[in-house]
Structure 1
């Protein structure tokens, strides 16, 4: 029974990765129109009605089974996604995604720290290998390393924690309730932060993506944000369902397909070909993920 659930979860995770990598290729275009917090506010305004409609059509409950646990899970995932989107303003999708989808590494480590899961020497080796692959894709300059360069890895820590919490404390929540929790958390946070960056002295409507003040929304911004919101609603719901029915470490391996899809979409849409180092890093990441999944199954 668990095997069939894991197969279904793997398919959901890959479909979500294909959708997310497509829509995230347009975040840089959004960054030319408005700031990060305005983007997230409008994305939430577009996404919430879609989720309400989806809940009605699919007859899925949106009411939380355990509100405090749902809030904790939503906070962890949302912080990871906010860090990831901030990185997308300056980095290619595959590079920012390499940090976010280092999550399987953190899933195993956090499983050991928070839930007492024992890690073997081979599992630790697989974790270190996967981390090395992520560094290859990120192409970090160790001689000029800055905290900003490590942002994608920080996104992976919080995202991995959120996915782990999905299985352990939110398995009884519906996929749409899990998705709604993320959008509401991000949207609420965006209202406060957008107000701060817009009202503070020296507010800049042409500043960096992360700290840009409110600007009048353009038709292009609204169209790009609506497209992003629609894709995100579908993808977040798919991945939430995947983690509800599948084993977290197994499902997280198939999220690695995001990196492959991101490179393919970047090439098809913008003609941006990934370097041989990036592809080598992706291969290392996927291989380590498969090894982690196999070892966890064997250890279990």
Structure 2
């Protein structure tokens, strides 16, 4: 029975990664229709009712245990995701995703800095390996570093910090409450920022003012919202029935799916160094997951 549940959890995690990487490939198309803040505002407006309905149908509680803590967690994770989506306006999904999936590396480093935890040699090696893989995939021009060069890694930093807050502050909160908190926060921030950029317009994805929504924009945004809700539901179920360590490893398939979808949808190819980077990041994730599992098992046996 446990083997069957593990297999189901793995398939759910793979499906969630495939859906997320698919819909994220269309953010560049969204950027041709409207700016980041308008996109995120409409995305949140579409997603929130869907999440509430999904929670009711699945019998999931939406009760918030500690409002202040879930609010802080929502703000931190939302910053990471907004930076990630801003990156998608100019970078391929696999490159922006490499930064977001550097979050376990930041979690390990923050655990040492903030909580004085000892991470061991294997975890240290995995952190270095994962960072090297992220650089292989991002391939920054060290002679001409720009804000865009470091944005994906900044997304990973905030997302990783958010995952730490999830573990230490929000362990008693339901997965649906956490998801709703993020979409609600993103919606509020996007509304405020949309007013700002409309009053002070620019020409980039992040600074584009309000534009009359086109049919294409609405359909692309609805696709994003529906896909995100499906993916959140699938990954929540995967973590519910499967081993969290194993599920987290399968989430790294996002980077592989992102490259595959980019080729299928747009004919965009991924070079050899980037593929090596993907393999290195996945290997790093497996090492970190196994190291964390051994640490957890050792603590349980005491």
TM-score by length of 2: 0.90
* Shift, 1:278, TM fit: 0.7
Distance 2:173 2:191 in 1: 26
Residues in 2 aligned to 1:2 and 1:169: alpha-carbon distance in whole angstroms? 29
Counterpart of 1:113 in structure 2 is 113
| Cα separation, 2, equivalents of 1:80 and 1:238 | 21
For residue 260 of structure 2, the aligned residue among 257, 260, 264 is 264
Question: Which consecutive residues of structure 2, in runs of 5 or more, have no partner in the other structure?
Answer: 297-302
**Deviation by residue 1:63-109 (Cα, 9 ceiling, x = unmatched):** 31211121122112111100000000000000000000111212222
2:66 corresponds to: 66
Give the deviation of 1:243 after TM superposition: 5.6
1:2 & 1:115 partners in 2: Cα distance? 34
**Aligned runs of 1:45-60 on 2, under 5 Å?**
45-60=45-60
**Residue 77 of structure 1 corresponds to which residue in structure 2?**
77
Structure 1: which 5+ runs fail to align?
Answer: none
Structure-2 separation of matches of 1:276 and 1:41: 37
CA distance in 2: counterparts of 1:51 and 1:31, whole angstroms:
25
Aligned match of 1:197? 197
Whether 2:294 is the aligned partner of 1:298: answer yes
| 1:44 corresponds to 2:44 | yes
- Kindly tell me: are residues 11 and 118 of structure 1, through their superposed partners in 2, closer, same or farther at Cα, counting changes over 3 Å? farther
247 and 52 in structure 1: CA distance in 2 versus 1, 3 angstrom threshold: same
Task: Tell me if the contact between 1:267 and 1:273 (Cα under 8 Å) persists in the aligned partners.
Answer: yes
Is 1:226 aligned to residue 219 of structure 2?
no
Contact 2:5-2:241 within 8 A present in 1 as well = yes
Give the Cα–Cα distance (whole angstroms) in 2 for the partners of residues 50 and 99 of structure 1. Answer: 28
Q: For the residues of structure 2 that align with 1:116 and 1:2, how far apart are their CA atoms?
A: 35
Aligned residue-pair number: 296
Q: TM-score, normalised by structure 1?
A: 0.91
The one-character-per-residue Cα deviations of 1:130-151 (angstroms, maximum 9, x if unpaired) are 1000000001111111232110
Alpha-carbon separation, structure 1, partners of 2:117 and 2:100? 22
C-alpha separation in 1, matches of 2:10 and 2:225: 23
8 Å CA contact 2:62, 2:174 repeated in 1 = yes
Q: Deviation per CA, 1:21-45, whole angstroms, max 9, x where unpaired?
A: 0000000000000000000000011
C-alpha change, 1:4 and 1:130, in structure 2 (3 Å) is: farther
Report whether the alignment pairs 1:212 with 2:208: yes
CA contact (8 A) 1:16 1:239 kept: yes
CA distance in 1 between partners of 2:83 and 2:38 (Å): 15
Cα RMSD between the aligned structures? Answer: 2.3
Q: Could you tell me how far 1:178 is from its partner in structure 2?
A: 1.1
Task: State how far apart, in whole Å, the 1-side matches of 2:157 and 2:249 are.
Answer: 15
Contact 1:130 1:284 in 2 (8 A): yes
Deviations, residues 258-294 of structure 1 (Å, cap 9, x unaligned): 1000011111111112111110100111111111222
Query: CA-to-partner distance for each residue in 1:116-173, whole Å, 9 max, x for gaps?
Result: 4311123212111110000000011111112321100010111112223223322222
State whether residues 70 and 181 of structure 1, in contact with CA within 8 Å, keep that contact through their aligned partners in structure 2: yes
Q: How does 1:162-201 map to 2 (within 5 A)?
A: 162-200=162-200
